[in-house]
Amino acid sequence: MSRRQELDVIVVGAGVAGSATALALVRAGFGVTLVETRSPMEWRADDEVDPRVVALAPDSASLLDELGVWSSVLDARASAYRRMRVWDALAPGALTFDAADRGEAALGWIVENRLLQHVLWRTLNASSASGNPARLLCPAEVVAIDNDHEGVAVALADGTRLRTRLLIAADGAASPMRRRLGIGTRDRDYGQRAIVAHVGTERSHEATAWQRFQPGGPLAFLPLADGRSSIVWSRPDEDAARLLALDDSAFRAELGCAFDFRLGAIVSASPRHAFPLRLRLAERHVAGRCVLIGDAAHAVHPLAGQGLNLGLRDVRCLVTLLTHAKQRGGDPGAAHVLRRYERERRSENTLAAHSLDLIERSFGSKAMPLAAARGLALSLVDRIGPLKHLLGDAAAGRL
């Protein structure tokens, strides 16, 4: 392809981070080609709630609002949570956050992952009617790249060849693009699986996100719009296999006990699913004119629900830097632009990943002296206003 036909940006991967990046760049006037191996699954209001839900922080909701999709998400199916309660199974002490204490309507929202993908994909498709549409190549697979200081040449499985000034890899935690770029990762296998399901309880979820730390892994109850709760129960592999094999009644009884029956008995449960938990950090976020975002750059423990929020912060940072470069007449794929993105995002992502890892190690221990210290720490943080406020700001993405 000649230089005259060179594309502004290619985004590989149409998950939430990739689709949001493509849409934001289209709105900023870039020519964007989005490459995806398969179309996101259709979302319908009468379908069962997607087993995979995400806890969106206010800054993530703000980004989606700027992209013009947040109202569609709220109108479809989303659940605001106004409180968060955290406690330890082995020690007294608890930590409570309340949106009312901050003069806000919500601490965050529980949203189905498939709904987010659906709304973003639909909006991207609708951009074909605008003056600067996104070009969607799906199904399509990148089979080779040639990355040099002038641009990136991309070969697709169907023989199509493209050339771009910048390639953004948003193709998930396994990221074939990351491997093609020769970027290594630092990994930790937690030896755990996260069991996910939706459950009904005797009492209302109280628009509250609940989390109980237990030896072996945390248990979260997240409020859904239909009155049920979505659970994320991290358990060692062997125990996860045992829990998955239980019949419905036995599973509900054991789950209720693990949750200390905070919402009464568990009266119903959807089919259970599980996925392995790993910490994975890319050693670099940038290689030449290629850049990693979202899970391709970092996969973290789900205990605080920060994975997608970190990815959307990648999106905001990268799009802001690329837009500023374009407005100044510069090259958005220039090394100094991408290095600045890497400096800003790699430091925050690494800090977040290791902080979550430390929490998982500390709260997963059965040692009673450590458990007592954990309980005391939760109580102290709950009583120290400035520190509690700082933690709330960090979770909301305001720092």
CATH number at residue 226: 3.30.9.10
In the chain, how many domains are there? 2
Kindly state whether residue 70 falls inside one of the protein's structural domains.
Answer: no
Looking at the structure, tell me whether residues 254 and 180 fall in a common domain.
no
Contacts for 221 with CB less than 8 Å, ≥ 6 apart: 199, 205, 209, 210, 211, 229, 230, 231, 259, 262, 263
Looking at the structure, tell me whether residues 101 and 204 fall in a common domain.
yes
Q: Where are the alpha helices (DSSP H) in the chain?
A: 16-27, 58-66, 70-76, 113-126, 176-180, 237-245, 248-258, 307-327, 335-363, 368-383, 385-396
Q: Report which listed range, 337-341, 380-384, 394-398, is most confident.
A: 337-341
Looking at the structure, tell me whether residues 128 and 176 fall in a common domain.
yes
Kindly state whether residue 324 falls inside one of the protein's structural domains.
Answer: yes
Looking at the structure, tell me whether residues 17 and 153 fall in a common domain.
yes
Cβ–Cβ < 8 Å for 4, 301: no
Can you give the residue range of the structural domain that contains 227?
75-113+190-277+367-396
Looking at the structure, tell me whether residues 298 and 308 fall in a common domain.
yes
Looking at the structure, tell me whether residues 131 and 96 fall in a common domain.
no
What digits encode the pLDDT tens for the residues 118-147? 999 999 988 755 566 789 999 999 999 999
> What pLDDT does 149 receive?
85
> What pLDDT does 1 receive?
38
Strands 185-201 and 7-12: unpaired
Residue 54 host element (H or E): strand 53-56
CB burial of residue 269 (10 Å; 0-12, 13-18, 19+): middle
Looking at the structure, tell me whether residues 262 and 126 fall in a common domain.
no
Least confident of 48-52, 72-76, 86-90: 86-90
Looking at the structure, tell me whether residues 155 and 197 fall in a common domain.
no
Taking the C-alpha atoms of residue 20 and residue 294, their distance in angstroms, rounded to an integer, is 11
CATH number at residue 174: 3.50.50.60
Looking at the structure, tell me whether residues 92 and 45 fall in a common domain.
no
Cβ–Cβ < 8 Å for 291, 177: no
Looking at the structure, tell me whether residues 212 and 340 fall in a common domain.
no
Report, as an integer, the average pLDDT of 187-208. 95
pLDDT(391) > 70: no
Confidence of residue 41 (pLDDT cuts 50, 70, 90): confident
Looking at the structure, tell me whether residues 198 and 93 fall in a common domain.
yes
Between the CA of residue 391 and those of 83, 241, 317, 378, 381, what are the distances in Å? Answer: 14, 34, 21, 12, 9
The predicted model scores a pTM of 0.90
Cβ–Cβ < 8 Å for 231, 195: yes
Taking the C-alpha atoms of residue 248 and residue 216, their distance in angstroms, rounded to an integer, is 22
Kindly state whether residue 69 falls inside one of the protein's structural domains.
Answer: no
